[in-house]
């Protein structure tokens, strides 16, 4: 089984904020593959379905949005991994999250490593006791003024950014599709580009 985890903060207050980009990536992926995020399990919102990507057999895939605040995200991930048939987190788990150090909409995949200050990923690594976890970072950029970064990530995207998000989130879902079908190295090679055009889904 594969598990896609999106990181964010729960509740309507935070639903459209920059820090919830991981949730929105997970939701875009789930909607594409008709996975209903309608179960309360593992301390989060969870859905599970069969995902068929062109060129591969259908896969059993779960999608999880932890419902603790960002800096406690690891509790839900650890519980889910203890209950679900995810064989190897280094191969079968991917975490989607926001990144202030990437320009808006830029994607960066890594097979493992540190959290680079992202508190949700930090807690996931701490709770699992390992950092060899694939992650998909979605760029939200830094403020152009002296605004505190904490305040920045808890604000909504600008109207112009919100208008651009559907295509950018679709590209992030494409990256998860490639990871599912071909592995993290293939996804890194395709999506970790300085200037990355929006690409069609693997089956298109």
User: How is 148-181 classified by DSSP, letter by letter?
Assistant: -HHHHHTSBPPHHHHHHHHHHHHHHHHHHHHHHH
pLDDT for the residue numbered 158: 94
The whole-angstrom separation of Cα 32 and Cα 50 is: 12
| Structure confidence at residue 199 as a pLDDT band (50, 70, 90) | very low
Residue 10 lies in a domain: yes
pLDDT for the residue numbered 162: 96
The pLDDT tens digits of the residues spanning 62-116 come to: 999 999 999 999 999 999 999 999 999 999 999 999 999 999 999 999 999 999 8
Residue 7 lies in a domain: yes
Distances (CA, A) of 104 to 62, 98, 159, 202: 27, 10, 13, 23
The pLDDT tens digits of the residues spanning 121-152 come to: 999 999 999 999 999 999 999 888 777 888 99
* 123 belongs to the catalytic site: no
Residue 203 lies in a domain: no
Rounded mean pLDDT, 56-65 = 95
Residue 200 lies in a domain: no
Residue 196 lies in a domain: no
Distances (CA, A) of 31 to 28, 38, 72, 171, 184: 5, 12, 25, 14, 22
How is residue 47 written in tokens?
């859905």
Domain ranges, residue 62 = 2-191
Residue 22 lies in a domain: yes
Residue 199 lies in a domain: no
Residue 88 CA from chain centroid, whole number: 18
Q: Which of 17, 102, 20, 130 is CA-nearest to residue 7? A: 20
H or E element that contains 47: strand 44-51
- 121: domain CATH number is 3.40.50.1470
pLDDT for the residue numbered 144: 80
Task: Judge whether residue 196 has pLDDT over 70.
Answer: no
Residue 198 lies in a domain: no
The whole-angstrom separation of Cα 107 and Cα 92 is: 20
Residue whose tokens read 């679709």 = 170
pTM: 0.92
- Which of 19, 106, 181, 190 is catalytic? The answer is 19
What is the overall mean pLDDT for the chain?
92
| Structure confidence at residue 61 as a pLDDT band (50, 70, 90) | very high
């Amino acid at each position: 089984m594969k598990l896609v985890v999106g990181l964010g903060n729960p509740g309507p207050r935070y639903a459209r904020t920059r820090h919830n980009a991981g949730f929105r990536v997970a939701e875009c992926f789930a909607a594409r593959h008709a996975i209903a995020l309608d179960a309360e399990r593992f301390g989060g919102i969870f859905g599970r379905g069969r995902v068929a990507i062109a060129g591969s057999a259908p896969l059993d895939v779960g999608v999880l949005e932890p419902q603790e605040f960002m800096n406690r995200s690891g509790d839900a991930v650890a519980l889910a991994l203890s209950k679900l048939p995810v064989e190897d987190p280094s191969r079968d788990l991917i975490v989607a999250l926001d990144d202030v150090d990437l320009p808006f909409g830029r994607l960066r995949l890594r097979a493992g490593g540190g959290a680079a200050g992202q508190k949700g990923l930090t807690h996931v690594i701490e709770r699992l006791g390992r950092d060899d976890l694939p992650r998909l970072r979605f760029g939200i950029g830094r403020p152009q003024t002296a605004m505190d970064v904490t305040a920045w990530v808890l604000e909504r995207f600008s109207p112009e950014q919100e208008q651009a998000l559907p295509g950018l989130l679709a590209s992030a879902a494409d990256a998860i599709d490639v990871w599912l079908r071909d592995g993290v190295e293939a996804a890194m090679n395709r999506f970790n580009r300085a200037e990355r055009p929006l690409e069609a889904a693997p089956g298109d």
